[in-house]
Structure 1
Amino acid sequence: MPAKKQKLSSDENSNPGDLSGDENDDAVSIESGTNTERPDTPTNTPNAPGRKSWGKGKWKSKKCKYSFKCVNSLKEDHGQPLFGVQFNWHSKEGDPLVFATVGSNRVTLYECHSQGEIRLLQSYVDADHYVGHGNAINELKFHPRDPNLLLSVSKDHALRLWNIQTDTLVAIFGGVEGHRDEVLSADYDLLGEKIMSCGMDHSLKLWRINSKRMINAIKDSYEYNPNKTNRPFVSQKIHFPDFSTRDIHRNYVDCVRWLGDLILSKSCENAIVCWKPGKMEDDIDKIKPSESNVTILGRFDYSQCDIWYMRFSMDFWQKMLALGNQVGKLYVWDLEIEDPHKAKCTTLTHPKCVAAIRQTSFSRDSSILIAVCDDASIWRWDRLR
């Protein structure tokens, strides 16, 4: 059924005045050196078979070139945790900077204005839905090149690819060699040819969607018309991933993102790990399902983040990486480096931001960083040029 739209009055919009001068003075952007390490193996055994060890010890470097200032905050009236936030990256230069948050039973849209203002646009509840998963859905991702293809990952141990234009389920990823517990996160690569998924079973799995089988399935999903046939659409069942490993993390893997041909993933271990399937010289497009090697390139270390379902994000150009911890502190790393273990970090704190930061999102131009928290609060940090 159609979504219910709730337009909110202007007095519910948040102005920079919501933060007093003293509070703004206390918003801190601490420019620190790197807190990333040259990695050991997950088992702490140097030079394990199939691994490349990049040595130990911490790198010292110049200060991070990115600085931010907290200019505004607001709190949604439902008081429930906000688990997701995402800016609209499909806008053009000069368009309003719009982002959406997810909490309770709502999706809420906001617009960022100059001087730190956050204007509430609309709230949606009871949206149209698809029936398919057998349990809670943990993450959604649209295809980077075809916005009609929606990927969902679920507590039912499976991933599903939907065509929202024709309301068809294109494929189910899971089964014989699929995840053995909840799937918590997944991401497309930049070309939309590969999916990397992760979950509670400590594993990360690669699924290719540029195979002949999947290309034909996607094509068929566009041609399917339920008004012209009584037969249901035949969804592909993909039981076998194209690569799988449990050697990166020893706990729930709750966030994964592609960084070129490299992978960034995190668990409840106070570190984001940068790695790639196979050996360093291997072409990822030629990795075989039987491949057991992984190459760990570096770790982005932080503290006080040992609870799960805490998501990191990158900006549109993949030059910055941001993550919040469970006490309201934000970490921003500079990714414009040759080696991941040399990344420089900025730490952002505010005296009134003390709840767990569940997710962050950069505006397309990287000028604004939004963080959402367990106490239903939204925090806006503007980049200082």
Structure 2
Amino acid sequence: MAKIPLGCEPVVGSLTPSKKREYRVTNRLQEGKRPIYAVVFNFIDSRYFNAFATAGGNRVTVYQCLEGGVIAVLQSYIDEDKDESFYTVSWACNIDGTPFLVAGGLNGIIRVIDTGSEKIYKSFVGHGDSINEIRTQPLKPSLVVSASKDESVRLWNIHTGICILIFAGAGGHRNEVLSVDFHPSDIYRIASCGMDNTVKIWSMKEFWTYVEKSFTWTDLPSKFPTKYVQFPVFIASVHTNYVDCNRWIGDFILSKSVDNELVLWEPKMKEQSPGEGTVDILQKYPVPECDIWFIKFSCDFHYKAAAVGRGRYTCGKCNPALRFSLQDYLMFSRNLQLD
């Protein structure tokens, strides 16, 4: 368990926006009466940087930003199960460059949508409970990772439909996993966090041969030798309450908890002693009245700014209608050396 070293007092960052607004509302859209849980731009494929997708209820919708603030609806996928509620969606690519959308939610089923043919490409069944977040490997965008209420994180190959690795077990999360993220440059590393108040860093380096094997596997996906990764290489207790979102910022991690703050910190691992190390907290950003759990934050393409919602409600995912009833958005920026 990582400990915060003495003498490393964090700088308190400011979330107060400048008097001169650097943004303005250009359009508003209404998607029925069910809450929208996720909005994600396509940062995976430069051909579609102006396209974004939303997830909410049993629907995933694709939009395109046009000149003059116009937003066009391109396509919409409606799940056959009316009780499905998608909590998360992520852009990905097949190995031939075909753009995919990968969505999951209440039912624990991952839907891979081919946006070119506007059809379901594959459906993944494996998680034992709802899926809280899906993220795409930026260096290999046909790999996605999913975080679930079943206390596990799973790595999938969307081209072959194979579940390659399951991050769970003796050293895994002890409660619902709420968020997961790939390291932007270290292809082997991911970070996950959840309702056990911890952030865990995992390495796939030892199991990378299985990742490579998943691309050439020709037998049934169910016959693939899926491996369990039971021990993270680092465990950090930076927060004292649920950690509902974490993102890599270079080698730093920005994480959010329902204790009304975002924390920018650096994990300092001992290469010879996996699981051991210290945490250097670099900066804290207070976010008042942000005790609704499951509210994510998002970073811009260059990781220089982030946006986070907040509200005064005391219930979160137990009342989905309030989860995205946000009062305002707070913007903050910090120049970081990501080399």
TM over 0.5: same fold?
yes
Q: TM bucket by the smaller chain?
A: 0.7 to 0.9
Calculate the TM-score normalised by the size of structure 1: 0.67
Offset of residue 277 of structure 1: 1.5
Give the aligned residue type for 2:331: V
Calculate the TM-score normalised by the size of structure 2: 0.76
The yes-or-no answer on 1:158 pairing with 2:152 is: yes
Match of 1:146 in 2: 140
8 Å CA contact retained: 1:66, 1:334 = no
1:168-197 per-residue CA deviation (whole Å, 9 max, x = no partner) reads: 110100111100000000101112321000
The yes-or-no answer on 1:189 pairing with 2:144 is: no
Match of 1:86 in 2: 40
8 Å CA contact retained: 2:299, 2:307 = yes
Match of 1:323 in 2: 308
8 Å CA contact retained: 2:131, 2:148 = yes
Q: Please list, as runs of the form range in 1=range in 2, the aligned pairs for 1:87-236 lying within 5 A after superposition.
A: 87-92=41-46, 97-126=50-79, 127=120, 128-191=122-185, 192-209=187-204, 211=205, 213-226=206-219, 232-236=223-227
Give the aligned residue type for 1:205: K
Offset of residue 207 of structure 1: 0.4
Q: Please give the alpha-carbon distance, in whole angstroms, between the structure 2 residues aligned to 1:90 and 1:148.
A: 10
Offset of residue 231 of structure 1: 8.1
8 Å CA contact retained: 1:51, 1:296 = no
The yes-or-no answer on 1:303 pairing with 2:288 is: yes
Match of 1:15 in 2: none
**Cα separation, partners in 2 of 1:113 and 1:224, compared to 1, 3 Å:** same
Of residues 34, 46, 53, the one that matches 2:8 is 53
Q: Please give the alpha-carbon distance, in whole angstroms, between the structure 1 residues aligned to 2:16 and 2:297.
A: 23
Q: Following superposition, which runs of at least 4 residues in structure 1 exceed 2 angstroms of deviation? A: 48-66, 90-93, 125-128, 284-290
Q: Provide the alpha-carbon RMSD of the alignment.
A: 2.6
**What SS is found at the alignment partner of 1:316?**
coil
Offset of residue 124 of structure 1: 0.7
Offset of residue 289 of structure 1: 2.5
1:130-172 per-residue CA deviation (whole Å, 9 max, x = no partner) reads: 1100000110011111111110110000000011111111010
| Bigger Rg, which one | 1
Give the aligned residue type for 1:144: P
Q: Please give the alpha-carbon distance, in whole angstroms, between the structure 1 residues aligned to 2:255 and 2:29.
A: 30
Give the aligned residue type for 2:245: C
Q: Please give the alpha-carbon distance, in whole angstroms, between the structure 1 residues aligned to 2:14 and 2:166.
A: 43
**Cα separation, partners in 2 of 1:119 and 1:277, compared to 1, 3 Å:** same
Equivalent residue pairs, number: 279
Give the aligned residue type for 1:218: V
Q: Please give the alpha-carbon distance, in whole angstroms, between the structure 2 residues aligned to 1:116 and 1:285.
A: 49
Taking only the aligned residue pairs, the percentage that are identical comes to 37
**Cα separation, partners in 2 of 1:289 and 1:56, compared to 1, 3 Å:** same
Offset of residue 203 of structure 1: 0.8
Q: Please give the alpha-carbon distance, in whole angstroms, between the structure 2 residues aligned to 1:89 and 1:183.
A: 24
Offset of residue 304 of structure 1: 2.0
Match of 2:91 in 1: none
Q: Please give the alpha-carbon distance, in whole angstroms, between the structure 2 residues aligned to 1:57 and 1:145.
A: 33
**Cα separation, partners in 2 of 1:74 and 1:285, compared to 1, 3 Å:** farther
Q: Please give the alpha-carbon distance, in whole angstroms, between the structure 2 residues aligned to 1:61 and 1:304.
A: 14
Give the aligned residue type for 1:234: P
Q: Please list, as runs of the form range in 1=range in 2, the aligned pairs for 1:4-83 lying within 5 A after superposition.
A: 50-54=5-9, 63=18, 67-77=22-32, 79-83=33-37
Offset of residue 58 of structure 1: 7.1
